[in-house]
Copies of this chain bind each other. A is one copy, B any other.
Amino acid sequence: MSIAILGYGVVGSGAYEILTKAGYRVSRVLDLRSYPELGDKLTHDIEDIINDKDITVVAEAIGGNTFSYDFASRALKAGKHVVSSNKHLICSYYKELHALAKENGVTIRFTASAGGGIPWLYNLKRGLLCDRIYKVMGIMNGTTNYILDAMIRDSRDFADVLKEAQALGYAEANPSADIDGLDVARKTAISSSIAFDAVVSEDDVLVFSLRNIQKGDIDYIAAKCGKTVRYLGYGMRTENGIAAFVEPTLLSADALESNVFTNNNMISLFGDYVGRLSFYGQGAGKYPTGNALGQDIINILQGDTALIEPKTDAVMHNEEAKRAYFIRTSSETALDFAVSEERVGNVRYIFTDKIGVSVMHEAAKTILAQDEKSFFAGIEE
């Protein structure tokens, strides 16, 4: 009984180190690059892993959703359990991978793919054992939290902090997946799929980018209502289905999330019996994510191979989730759901009534067409 790891990048090498030190046998590592320290464990050929009957668990840490899907599918078909840290893969092929695992009598685990270090998804699944979860929400992306924290703490501009985060390796050269919300949308989709037992795809999740936030917005919000800003993903049951969205969000200073700094995560579930449970820590990184992969693997090796299959596609009702918004724009579009408005020069600062989330996102398209720098944020009650 041994383990194979696909991809020897940051996460794969972290998992390799952790599992090896803990006494588990990683017999094969797939990577196209060469790593002399891996000796003959290194292979460039997935067949070496698929055909090796001694390998019972395959850990996928390649990223993307092409090779990763091909390799994960073949591992499942070969009767091997699959563990993944790859939110792109899981989000793209949630149903297919679960169906393949079921067909072949194995399991698939992906705690490491969203809030891995915390460990969020594992607890979310366990939370369903005898409770009903009606909401998930939280800070799911370390890069954007690092940026917001630095902007707030040191009164700096977005672009300036982003540049620093890129230099430090906290943000990618192309930062769009983080700052435009795709990363959080995928994590929200995966979390919602588990919580509500219905597959939410990344396209179902409405997203406001964080990109347009300015130092002046933070100052205005603090002065006007004493609140701070975090970038949050939300999934919730509504009257007739599910709502899921990613938005910069105004929070009271005494909210738990307001004391989450630097690149930390905090994700919460809300259950009928347990109320609110929150999980805090390093969401990602070599060792936190490697450890999450390692834990999922060890659970499987210890015999915990239960598979929770998603029942249906989600029926989205993003209009049924209601919240108030803050808007900063120089667009002159009339907003009949505004409850207060202040003008500074040609800039309008607007607080709205509670409206459907999809109503706001629809209206935002018109406003952004007139002022592409407009900033939108939901308001947490």
Contact = CB atoms under 8 A, between A and B. Distances in A.
B129 A294 contact: yes
Given A254-B259, A256-B256, A304-B304, A129 B299 contact: yes
A22 interface: yes
Contact of A259 (B21, B118, B258, B304): B258
Contact of A122 (B21, B22, B126): B126
Interface string A254-294: 11101111000000100111111111111000011011001
Given A129-B294, A129-B295, A18 B273 contact: yes
B282 A275 contact: yes
Interface residues on A, range: 35 or more
Contacts of A21: 130
Given A274-B288, A291-B273, A19 B130 contact: yes
A123 interface: yes
Interface of A: 18-19, 21-22, 24, 117-119, 122-123, 126, 129-131, 254-256, 258-261, 268, 271-282, 287-288, 290-291, 294-295, 298-299, 302-304, 306
Closest 9 CB pairs of A and B: A278-B280, A22-B130, A277-B281, A273-B287, A130-B294, A273-B291, A129-B298, A129-B295, A259-B259
